[in-house]
């Protein structure tokens, strides 16, 4: 039997500590939590529709619109209207957003590499398989 309180606490701590993975960047430091989540979601899923962002991040369409406005004003993402359906709006990163995400990704890879040395190959395999199984059971496509 699993201890849901422990799992909840572990997941919460991972999310809270996630901010420590961020490279020192004044633009990222000024983002609200929801702005950061939307920015990262767009980076991982570009181009993506505003509707998809709303569904996946469980935020209202109006909240996504406000967050998009803020991220556009900061030069991190941009809107692109569909040529087939003008009502459909895609979000993608700007050059500035792509550069910031690239630096973040490099820092995360360095962190993962440093942590990797603290585990045996068997432990790393267990951790990796555990995350994959957990996400698949939640219906997340890898």
Query: Does 113 reside within a domain?
Result: yes
Query: Does 95 reside within a domain?
Result: yes
User: What is the phi/psi pair of residue 81, to 5°?
Assistant: -75, 140
Q: Which band of pLDDT confidence, cut at 50, 70 and 90, is reported for residue 122? A: very high
Query: Does 87 reside within a domain?
Result: yes
Query: Does 132 reside within a domain?
Result: yes
Spatial distance between the Cα atoms of 71 and 27, rounded to a whole number of angstroms: 10
User: What is the phi/psi pair of residue 49, to 5°?
Assistant: -80, 155
Query: Does 21 reside within a domain?
Result: no
Please give the model's pTM, rounded to 2 decimal places: 0.82
CATH for 89: 1.10.10.10
Rounded alpha-carbon distances, angstroms, from residue 24 to 20, 134, 137: 9, 31, 34
Tokens found for residue 12: 């919460």
Structure confidence by residue, pLDDT tens digits, 21-78: 666 778 888 899 899 999 999 999 999 999 999 999 999 999 999 999 999 999 999 9
Query: Does 97 reside within a domain?
Result: yes
* Residues facing residue 92 across a β-bridge: 78
Query: Does 111 reside within a domain?
Result: yes
Provide the number of structural domains found in the chain. Answer: 1
């Amino acid at each position: 039997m699993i201890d849901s309180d422990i799992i909840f606490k572990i997941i919460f701590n991972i999310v809270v500590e996630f901010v420590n993975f961020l490279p020192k960047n004044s633009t990222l430091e000024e983002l609200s939590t929801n702005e950061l989540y939307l920015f990262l979601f767009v980076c991982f899923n570009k181009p993506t529709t505003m509707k998809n962002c709303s569904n996946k991040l469980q935020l209202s369409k109006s909240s996504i619109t406000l967050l998009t406005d803020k991220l556009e004003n900061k030069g991190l993402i941009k809107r692109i209207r569909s040529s087939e359906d003008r009502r459909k709006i895609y979000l993608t990163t700007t050059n500035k957003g792509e550069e910031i995400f690239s630096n973040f990704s490099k820092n995360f890879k360095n962190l993962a590499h440093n942590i990797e040395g603290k585990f045996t190959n068997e432990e790393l395999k267990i951790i990796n398989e555990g995350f994959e199984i957990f996400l698949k059971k939640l219906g997340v496509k890898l």
